Chains A and B, each alone.
Chain A
Amino acid sequence: MTPAPVPVRLDGVVKRYGHRTVLDHVSGEVLPGITGLVGPNGAGKSTLVRAILGLVRLAAGRVLVEGHDPAREPHVVRRLVGVVPEDECAVPGLAAVETVRYAARLCGLPATEALRRAHEVLDWCDAGQERYRPVETLSVGMRQKVAFAAAIVHDPRLVILDEPTNGLDPIERRAMLGRLTTLAHDHGKTILLSTHVLPDVQAICDRVIVLAAGQVRLEGTLADLTRPVVPQLRLELDAAVDEVAARLTALGIPVTRTGSLSLQLPAQHAAGLDRVWRATREAGAVVRALEPVQERFEDVFLQALAAQPQEAPRAAS
């Protein structure tokens, strides 16, 4: 059986505007699930999205979307992709539902079905009766929802979103992230989320690509990237932290106190967890949590940006 093609494969992509190199030998893969594309302003994220859509001519390298080259088969690729652009863009004069219907028709859905599907998707996006108002009169958050609905109305296999939570209040933001998770995990869509909001990335992304100065600085699963270089375990107790720490130290397990009720210990001692349990029990404390320590993604991101471009990107194993 032939394996399913990789949703997006980037192979040494180079894009220059004049003498300025915007994408410098970018390679990587966007796999099924949710992939975060993060980077500072001017990192080349939007250009990379345009390259995936075949909107820019590359100086070198190749992009493949489900095995199709967007430079040669742009229409095939764009039928597979739904895009929420960073810039607000809409045809003036059209109501929200007409905008979504128009998007569906541009993607080849028949007129009647396009209208039915537009209503269905707007319902799912919780657009309410606002759908009958012209898009230019809607709030920023509502326009984001309409843009998202227009991007998915034709049921694309790959959804690319550029700052989709801009202008959304916390409740709507959570709902939007929930919709992305539903699309990815319940409907098998591949989602590429380009954003500056790192908590969003940490909340829903399976994989991350960090782009800076046109180069990939980090790529891998979020779990791998946030794992410390020296694996650690975090032990959370309900009481007697000092006594537990003393007992573990006496057993030869170096511990660090990281909070009023938490300790951190090297993960190589995980094999001797029975000693940890015993020391805790003898100290009269209860273990509330014992879990691997993860770095904050924000710290990982900042470290990646601080690294020199010529340093090899840290690819998670």
Chain B
Amino acid sequence: MPLHDVGYREWQGARLGPWSAAAAIATTGIRLAWTSRWLRRAVFLAWSPALFFAASFFAFEQAIDEGRIESLQERAARGRNLDGIGLLGTILADTLGRSEQPSSRPALSREAETAATRRLVWSRLLLAFMRAPQAVLLAVVVGLVAPTLISRDLRAKAWLVYFTRPVGRVHYIAGKLAVLATIVAAVTVLPALALWMAGVLVSPSVWVIAETWDLPLKVIAASIALAIPTVLLALAYSSLTAESRIASFAWFATWAACWIAHSSLVTADLAAATAPEAAAVADAADIDDDEWRPPPQRINWLARAAGLDTTIDRWSWVSPYHAIGVIQAWIFGVETRPQAVVPPAIALASVSVAAALVLAWRVAAPMRA
């Protein structure tokens, strides 16, 4: 008998409620997930785009501090795209170019004009940050973690560990969701909030906080909009199989296939819209139809992510990435047109509800066997 064996003793202490079980599932799940070297690498990698965007915040605030915003505005008004500062230049050109419409806006003081410009620029930078690099990185990170969360329990019959104890389906699913929500926070929310804080620190005055106080809330809301459908879909895939490889494949295949489908549809639309014009050009130049190519898109990926493409993407609901992007643009106030927002919102809500139903059904499946 071990020296420290005190025999069996009865437990006299209090017990916590069932949500403590959900917390235990979440903390243990996070700890187990973090043992993956690939996950650690992916999370650290997910912070690297923030450095690039932080440089943009710094360049913008520096321009304000040095009083160069008017000269930039003049260049924007002349149609210059301010290529010298990359994405920030594109955003500035768009933002300042739009602000050159006196009839549509009342005259503002210089400080008010600066504050309004700052809000627009910061919003678009944060939106571009969340839509372009972080959404893709999130898909990778969730694809590393989520497939194993439930399928591994099914494979190891670990569901008995949970459901022979006072743990309900709701608590189990909530615990697993919390694992992914934490990872979503680590990949999107925290870097975006750090970016906002960096903007505050490089700005001339701390009163910038008062001007942009709502942006952190919008970051959180946009992350929730990103997290709910992706996390539910990933867990639903995980619950459908005991082989995590199959769940991983399904997850990445969904993103890739939907992205390709969306690109194909948009390209087809673009070709259809420009075909008569191109045909006319081809006739005039006496060029064969075979040599015709659709005109190149002038707005790059990051700028599109920042909401600079004002055309309505009527196929956004086909792809989770693009649908989430539209909803995030709506949260940041960049996209307000109902015909652009409603279809992807309905698509994402449908996917979320379907995934939640599959999840609830599958989690209880072993007990029905």
Residue numbers of A with Cβ under 8 A of B are: 50, 53, 55-56, 74-76, 78-79, 81, 83, 85, 87-94, 98, 102-103, 105-111, 113, 117, 120-121, 123-124, 126, 128, 136, 150, 152, 154-155, 179, 182-183, 186-187
Shortest distance from the beta carbon of A70 to any chain B beta carbon, whole Å: 11
Most chain B Cβ neighbours within 10 Å, of A75, A106, A121: A106
Bound-state CA distance A79–B166 (Å) is 6
B16 touches A110 (CB 8 A): yes
Shortest distance from the beta carbon of B238 to any chain A beta carbon, whole Å: 14
Chain B: CB-nearest residue to A105: B24
A94 touches B32 (CB 8 A): yes
| A108/B158 contact (C-beta < 8 A), A91-B153, A120-B6, A128-B2 known | no
Shortest distance from the beta carbon of A116 to any chain B beta carbon, whole Å: 10
B158 touches A91 (CB 8 A): yes
Q: Which chain B positions have C-beta within 8 A of A186?
A: 8
Would you list 7 pairs from A and B whose C-beta atoms are within 8 A, ordered by A residue? Answer: A56-B367, A88-B157, A105-B21, A106-B161, A126-B1, A128-B2, A187-B10
User: Among B2, B5, B165, which residue has its beta carbon within 8 angstroms of that of A107?
Assistant: B165
A109 touches B16 (CB 8 A): yes
Q: Which chain B positions have C-beta within 8 A of A121?
A: 8
B15 touches A106 (CB 8 A): no
User: Among B16, B20, B158, which residue has its beta carbon within 8 angstroms of that of A92?
Assistant: B158
| A123/B152 contact (C-beta < 8 A), A106-B165, A155-B11 known | no
Q: Which chain A positions have C-beta within 8 A of B9?
A: 120
Q: What 4 A-B pairs have minimum CB-CB distances, sorted nearest first? A: A108-B15, A155-B11, A105-B24, A89-B157
Bound-state CA distance A108–B16 (Å) is 4
B293: Cβ under 8 A from any A Cβ = no
| A108/B160 contact (C-beta < 8 A), A79-B166, A120-B6 known | no
A90 touches B24 (CB 8 A): no
B163: Cβ under 8 A from any A Cβ = yes
A109 touches B15 (CB 8 A): yes
Q: Which chain B positions have C-beta within 8 A of A154?
A: 11, 15
B21 touches A126 (CB 8 A): no
Bound-state CA distance A25–B24 (Å) is 39
Chain B: CB-nearest residue to A151: B164
Chain A: CB-nearest residue to B18: A75
Bound-state CA distance A55–B156 (Å) is 18
Chain A: CB-nearest residue to B8: A124
B310: Cβ under 8 A from any A Cβ = no
B276: Cβ under 8 A from any A Cβ = no
Chain A: CB-nearest residue to B164: A83
Chain B: CB-nearest residue to A152: B8
User: Among A78, A90, A150, A183, which residue has its beta carbon within 8 angstroms of that of B166?
Assistant: A78
Bound-state CA distance A179–B8 (Å) is 9
Bound-state CA distance A165–B368 (Å) is 27
| A91/B15 contact (C-beta < 8 A), A50-B367, A126-B2, A183-B8 known | no
B156 touches A107 (CB 8 A): no
A106 touches B21 (CB 8 A): yes
Bound-state CA distance A311–B159 (Å) is 39
User: Among A55, A113, A123, A152, which residue has its beta carbon within 8 angstroms of that of B13?
Assistant: A113
User: Among A108, A150, A182, which residue has its beta carbon within 8 angstroms of that of B20?
Assistant: A108
User: Among B152, B157, B168, B367, which residue has its beta carbon within 8 angstroms of that of A87?
Assistant: B157
Chain A: CB-nearest residue to B5: A123
B350: Cβ under 8 A from any A Cβ = no
Bound-state CA distance A113–B21 (Å) is 14
Q: Which chain A positions have C-beta within 8 A of B158?
A: 89-92
B4: Cβ under 8 A from any A Cβ = yes
Bound-state CA distance A53–B4 (Å) is 34
Chain A: CB-nearest residue to B367: A55
Q: Which chain A positions have C-beta within 8 A of B160?
A: 83, 85, 87, 89
Shortest distance from the beta carbon of B152 to any chain A beta carbon, whole Å: 6
B167: Cβ under 8 A from any A Cβ = yes
A102 touches B13 (CB 8 A): no
B255: Cβ under 8 A from any A Cβ = no
Shortest distance from the beta carbon of A71 to any chain B beta carbon, whole Å: 13
Q: Which chain B positions have C-beta within 8 A of A128?
A: 2
A91 touches B18 (CB 8 A): no
Shortest distance from the beta carbon of A120 to any chain B beta carbon, whole Å: 6
B166 touches A106 (CB 8 A): yes
A78 touches B165 (CB 8 A): yes
Q: Which chain B positions have C-beta within 8 A of A123?
A: 2, 4-6
Chain B: CB-nearest residue to A81: B164
Chain B: CB-nearest residue to A86: B160
B17 touches A108 (CB 8 A): yes
Chain B: CB-nearest residue to A75: B166
**CB-defined interface of B154-181 with A at 8 Å, one 1/0 digit per residue?**
0011111111111110000000000000
B182: Cβ under 8 A from any A Cβ = no
A182 touches B21 (CB 8 A): no
Bound-state CA distance A44–B286 (Å) is 83
Q: Which chain A positions have C-beta within 8 A of B164?
A: 53, 55, 78, 81, 83, 85
**CB-defined interface of B20-32 with A at 8 Å, one 1/0 digit per residue?**
1100110010001
| A117/B11 contact (C-beta < 8 A), A55-B367, A79-B166 known | yes
Bound-state CA distance A128–B18 (Å) is 31
A89 touches B161 (CB 8 A): yes
